[in-house]
Amino acid sequence: MADSPQVLILGGYGNTGRIIADLLLTFTDVSVTIAGRNASKAEQYALELGRKFTPTRVTWKVADAADAISLDRVLLGVNLVIVASSTSSNTHNVARAVLRAECDYLDINYARAKLKILEDLRGEIETAGRCFVTDGGFHPGLPAAMIRAAAEQMDELIEAKVSSVISINWSKLFFSNETMLEFVQELADFSTKELINGEWQEAGWGKMVRHVDFGGKFGLRNVYPMWLEELSALPELIPSLKSSGFYVGGFNWFVDYFIMPLGWMWTRIAPIYGARPVSKMLVWGLKKFSTPPYGTVLHLQSSGISNGKKCNYELRIAHESGYYLTAAPVVACVIQLLKGAGRKPGLWFQAHLMNPQQMLTDLKKMEIVIESHESDSI
């Protein structure tokens, strides 16, 4: 056990953390520590994994992201910390503890405040020679990587847009109050930026809706622009790129047309007091009104020039479970980090650090649906 890399997962018994742990034990030789505030849940899931895999590869510990002493204790001997819990408010505490423990870091939290905290620590991270990976998962986490994959398929990538469908049977899931509260708080800063003629601009209301054919059981859907920070550097990474963006479909009719607009207004007017009641309404609306078909899809549509001819490239990444599709890219990233060449000191977006083609290969091994299609423009 001592010879294998040690990975500690904060929130390792949660919806996504459980899957990350299982996939790590399946596709790597790491040993895993399930950590969180609930000792019973951590122990129970560690024992379950121990029965499925080798007991010596799995352990559990009680850890509180808000308690520096607790973190220092559990991080002894750890090589990589994966933050799979809703602890973005404790980002500074966790990041500091990781630096003290001289290990690496990967999170799946989507929060602008978290990015600011990590950016402020960039110098210390680089000086320490640690590798910090942020915005892991599938969205954020995959859209910019998919666009980078498209750029490798042609001489000049001119347009690349990634759209998503997330249709989940929420009634069968449990999610913590902290998770939903963080999501609602992000509504106050929701941005609709798109790359238009090579510049990032807020989408106008009249041109905000796109119609995307996801094929299969989802068919034609309306999607709306959603800004992800991982997109920001794409024009610099891909100078030929002139048009791009990430676009999301809705949850269900009631959440989309009633709760989300109300939540957006309420969190802007009263960001401190409005978030909690909106998060409760959101949970109720998701559980009450979500209906089949269920599944999660990311669909890239791109165009450019190859061998002097106009060409198109499409890439589709899908899985029945949104939580599984969040966990698998994290494990694909860890696989690249473990190989050495994929680990680079500094602060990185998952979507920028990963080798796109290796990512697709590893995701396919994890039974993620990967479909691509190339064609000449007519």
Nearest CA to 376 out of 281, 306, 323 is that of 306
Segments of the chain with pLDDT less than 70: 1-2, 174-189, 204-207, 250, 260, 263-268, 270-275, 377-378
pLDDT digits (tens, 9 = 90+) for 279-319: 778 778 888 888 888 999 999 999 999 999 999 999 999 99
Tell me the three state secondary structure of residue 349: strand
User: Global pTM?
Assistant: 0.91
pLDDT digits (tens, 9 = 90+) for 214-256: 888 888 888 888 899 999 999 999 999 999 999 988 677 787 7
Report residue 284: phi and psi, to 5°. -60, -45
Average pLDDT, the chain: 90
200: enclosing H helix or E strand: strand 199-202
Give the pairing of strands 58-62 and 80-83: unpaired
User: Could you give the C-alpha distances from 340 to 142, 333, 337, 344, in angstroms and in order?
Assistant: 21, 12, 6, 8
Tokens of 303: 């165009």
d(CA 230, CA 219): 27
DSSP for residue 40: H
d(CA 350, CA 342): 11
| Residue-by-residue DSSP string for 234-283 | HHHHSTT--EEEEEE--S-HHIIIIIHHHHHHHHHH-TTTSHHHHHHHHH
All residues at 6 or more sequence positions from 31 whose CB lies less than 8 Å from its CB, including other chains: 1, 4, 5, 6, 7, 56, 57, 58, 59
* Total Cβ atoms within 10 A of residue 68: 15
d(CA 331, CA 338): 10
Nearest CA to 102 out of 122, 83, 130 is that of 130
Tokens of 187: 């509504």
CATH number of 143-322+366-376: 3.30.360.10
Question: Residue 159's pLDDT is what?
Answer: 98
d(CA 334, CA 134): 12
Angle at 342 between CA 71 and CA 360, to 5 degrees: 105
Q: Is residue 136 a contact partner of residue 333, using CB atoms and an 8 Å limit?
A: yes
Tokens of 198: 């090579």
Tokens of 188: 């106050």
Give the pairing of strands 346-349 and 193-196: unpaired
Question: Residue 1's pLDDT is what?
Answer: 38
Question: Residue 273's pLDDT is what?
Answer: 62
Question: Residue 26's pLDDT is what?
Answer: 98
Domain regions of the chain by residue span: 6-138+324-359, 143-322+366-376
Would you identify the CATH topology of the domain 6-138+324-359? Rossmann fold (3.40.50)
